[in-house]
A and B are shown apart, each in its own frame.
Chain A
Amino acid sequence: MSKTYEVEVLTPLVIGSQDKLQSFEFIKEGDFLRVINFDKLFEMSISKEGLIDTITHALETNPRGFRLDDVVKKYAIDVDKCTRYKIKLDGVRSLPNEVVSFVKSAGRAYIPGASLKGAVRSFLTKALKSTLLKQYENALSSAYEKKIKAIDQRRNGVSPQEVDDAAEVNIFFQSYFSPFKFLQISDTEFVLYENMSGYEIKVLNICDNKVKWYNRRGNFDDPQCGLSIVAEGINPLTKLKGIIKVGDGFVLGNEATGGLKDKFVNIASYKNCIEFLAEVINSATEKYISSEIEFYSKYKLTQIVAEYRKLIGILKGLAPNQFLIQLGFSTGYYSKTVGMFFEKESFAKLKVVDNNSKIYPELFPKTRRVVFKSGNISTIPGWVKVTIGEEMLKDF
């Protein structure tokens, strides 16, 4: 039976689209970002002699120095007529030349069912029994051995995108037989632009046991020197609805698939598939947040520790049909993988398998992405509370 789900955004949620907004597509107006429809601007400007030449010349010669607002003023263009949308910039100190664009359908932002389902799958994976989790480490070892052999033979050998395949198939079966066929999650309704903002994200990098802030020239003590990534995100407290269907086969299986029931430990007696799903995800969330609290406490990032403690408080007070999960952009390696359960030595293998990424086996991952507000550390992105509601309300 279909039910509604409601996502309540707890910390800024960014789900990036494939495109980035370039500086020639937006204008900063005080605390607001105005995103321009460039095609429309061109259409409107056919009569304005020299405008197209000015823009193309500027973009060809000095794209970074190009300022759309100067052009708009010079040619007296009515920007309201060629504005896609406007969003607030929430405490953004430094606006780079490109902004990470939120995923949209025909210009309307939403949370894709695929993103939520992917996050659910990642968190369920983190909650697996240790014997099953071990299979991921084994898969990494096999990939490592294959890679070593390939290096000897001067071949590439292993694709870092396919290292988990054997473990995934063993645990969740081929897609045709997968229990995830019984889990349907729709896209959410669209988000109003008034519920979205531009958020500034910086990259924390632990160097020599100290907190540093990364930018392309190096790592700095002063966060203001750190690289600023600005991304469109959904504001905390925003609530969005969608439809979810969790078939009994998801947990109990059927003749084609075994279901997920016996793949986790410490799950209270089975009542229904929704409560089962929520309980499993929350058990993974608790482990993950605890390890993050340990990380941030070690480096005395008290604001983030306080944010995570708040999340733990919310987690403890959840009803049986609610879960806490992290999704989207800038949420990091542990959020998306089962890496938090790996032995230290496994990261040495990971470094060989994925030789294009910077992997420091003694501390991995040593970076985190943090949201800044008005120059201060604010929170971590991507946390949402999901409530699975009564039988489908037909208003969505």
Chain B
Amino acid sequence: MDVILKGKYIVKCKIKAVTGLHIGEGNNSLEIGGIDNAVVKDAEGKPYIPGSSLKGKMRSLMEFAEGKVKDELLVVTKGERDGTSGIHIHICGDEDCVVCGLFGRNHGKHKLKNGEERDFTDAVLPTRLIVRDAKLIKKSITDKMKENLDLEWTEVKFENNIDRITSKANPRQSERVPAGAEFEAEFVVNRLKVDGEDDGDLYIKKLIQAMRLLEDDYLGGQGTRGNGKVQFVDIKIFYKDRDAYFTQKQPQVIAEAAALKNLQF
């Protein structure tokens, strides 16, 4: 396969938490004085949005939107012993598949949900989409908000599960980033020419579509009951062709908008 890098689209924007945001750290151990269900934090103790959470969620939404969630198109990434559940993602060998084209394929053998084994190595290309970790913009959590927070950057939300027979409440707590917090995000989409065929703006448009899908869905945990509504704001899309890396040429801003809904792209 003949692959040439034509250029890079770079999307810089902010991600605004419209409702509280809970991206769990995935550590269930309890520390004394610690909090149940903590959010993921960086080395400075500030919450952030891992690129993997963003990319994973957008991939999942695109898989549904592109009609790729079918047994014969899903591979098992983590199986459960009983075979009824587990984690499945879409990977295929179709060179025109925009989901695999944008989010990438893995090397090696895969077990499909329908039991078949397949190897998509021949179709593997450098992954076009790179999603950076999104750092918290400190000033988005205002002093007024900080006065009312339980922890330095985050709050503790309590929820109850109520027994529908006895009405007894079963409380649980989770940490979340308060609504209004903003994160500095960056996405890079590589524009490739594969066997003489130029991607053009196909994949950057697909990324924008995934961002739109995410705005109408949720990011992180407990999203069906309140958390995780996000908006992309202060968006700028740059294009740098490959020559720009060899010369002093500045990247071009090809689109910008205060919010995704206004983005003409």
- How long is the Cα–Cα vector from A333 to B171 in the complex, in angstroms? 17
Which of B141, B146, B158, B223 is the one whose CB lies under 8 Å from A184? B223
Let me know if A114 and B159 touch, CB within 8 A: yes
- How long is the Cα–Cα vector from A325 to B168 in the complex, in angstroms? 20
Q: Is B187 an interface residue (CB 8 A)?
A: no
- A residues 95-128 with Cβ under 8 Å of B? 104-108, 110, 112-114, 117-118, 122, 125
**Which single residue of chain B is at the shortest CB-CB distance from A162?**
B163
Q: Is A1 an interface residue (CB 8 A)?
A: yes
Let me know if B224 and A160 touch, CB within 8 A: no
Interface string of A20-50 (1 = CB under 8 A from B): 0000000000000000010110000000000
Let me know if B163 and A106 touch, CB within 8 A: no
**Which single residue of chain B is at the shortest CB-CB distance from A158?**
B166
Q: Is B147 an interface residue (CB 8 A)?
A: yes
How distant is B126 from chain A, measured CB to nearest CB, in Å? Answer: 34
Let me know if B85 and A176 touch, CB within 8 A: yes
How distant is B144 from chain A, measured CB to nearest CB, in Å? Answer: 7
Are A163 and B218 also in contact (CB < 8 A) when A113-B226, A117-B225 are? no
Interface residues on A, range: 35 or more
**Which single residue of chain A is at the shortest CB-CB distance from B19?**
A187
How distant is B66 from chain A, measured CB to nearest CB, in Å? Answer: 17
Let me know if A107 and B144 touch, CB within 8 A: yes
Q: Is A350 an interface residue (CB 8 A)?
A: yes
Let me know if A105 and B168 touch, CB within 8 A: no
Q: Is B170 an interface residue (CB 8 A)?
A: yes
Let me know if B178 and A337 touch, CB within 8 A: no
**Which single residue of chain B is at the shortest CB-CB distance from A346?**
B165
Are A333 and B167 also in contact (CB < 8 A) when A2-B216, A107-B145 are? yes
Let me know if A104 and B164 touch, CB within 8 A: no
CB contacts (< 8 Å) of A1 on chain B: these are 216
Which of A161, A190, A392 is the one whose CB lies under 8 Å from B168? A161
Interface residues on B, range: 35 or more
Let me know if A122 and B226 touch, CB within 8 A: no
- B residues 200-233 with Cβ under 8 Å of A? 216-218, 222-227, 229
Which of B157, B158, B179, B224 is the one whose CB lies under 8 Å from A180? B224
Q: Is B109 an interface residue (CB 8 A)?
A: no
Q: Is A136 an interface residue (CB 8 A)?
A: yes
Let me know if B224 and A183 touch, CB within 8 A: yes
Q: Is A61 an interface residue (CB 8 A)?
A: no
Q: Is B253 an interface residue (CB 8 A)?
A: no
Let me know if A187 and B147 touch, CB within 8 A: no
Q: Is A271 an interface residue (CB 8 A)?
A: no
Interface string of A362-396 (1 = CB under 8 A from B): 00000000000000000000000000000010101
17 A-B residue pairs with Cβ-Cβ distance under 8 Å, sorted by A, are A17-B158, A40-B147, A105-B155, A105-B157, A106-B145, A106-B149, A106-B155, A106-B179, A110-B179, A117-B224, A118-B162, A118-B225, A181-B224, A184-B223, A190-B179, A336-B167, A339-B167
Binding site for A on B (CB under 8 A): 18-20, 85, 141, 144-149, 155, 157-171, 173, 178-180, 216-218, 222-227, 229, 259, 261
